[in-house]
């Protein structure tokens, strides 16, 4: 009888442990290294590396980085500054309905080689009027 009680207890504990550890997240996250980041009066221009080592450009308006208010309760972008060897990179988050938000992990030292300056900023002015960035991997 004790033998069956112990076996049953192990089965119950295993089932509970598996069900707790297998809870799915609402988000899918992809992390990509940033090649270069540029300041623009309307937002950030981010050049990141694709899997085939090509570089792709996205535009992130500054409005996406603002603290949410009652009219727009969700934020789309966040910047975290640091100086570790892994900087700069970005995490892109998707939920069940598609693109959710992006987090930039940038060097806090603006003289780092990952920071650049745009020569002709006016050519990018229309690029920041977007609902979501177009990612390529």
- Write down the pTM of the prediction: 0.73
CA atoms within 13 A on the CB side of 50: 10
Burial class for 90, CB neighbours closer than 10 Å (0-12, 13-18, 19+): buried
Residue 23 has what pLDDT?
Answer: 64
Residue 73 has what pLDDT?
Answer: 61
Confidence band of 51 (pLDDT split at 50, 70, 90): confident
Query: In degrees to the nearest 10, what's the CA dihedral of 32, 33, 37, 43?
Result: 20
Output 130 or 10, whichever has higher pLDDT: 130
Asked which of 20-29, 39-48, 51-60, 70-79 is least confident by mean pLDDT, the reply is 20-29
């Amino acid at each position: 009888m004790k033998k069956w009680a112990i076996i049953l207890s192990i089965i119950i504990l295993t089932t509970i442990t598996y069900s707790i550890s297998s809870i799915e997240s609402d988000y899918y996250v992809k992390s990509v290294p940033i090649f270069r980041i540029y300041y623009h009066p309307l937002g950030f221009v981010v050049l990141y590396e694709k899997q085939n080592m090509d570089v792709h450009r996205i535009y992130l308006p500054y409005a996406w980085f603002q603290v949410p208010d009652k009219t727009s309760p969700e934020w789309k972008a966040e910047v975290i500054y640091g100086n570790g060897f892994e900087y700069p990179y970005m995490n892109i988050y998707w939920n069940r309905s598609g693109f959710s938000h992006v987090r930039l992990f940038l060097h806090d030292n603006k003289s780092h080689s990952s920071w650049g300056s745009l020569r002709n900023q006016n050519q990018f002015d229309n690029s920041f009027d977007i609902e979501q960035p177009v990612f390529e991997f």
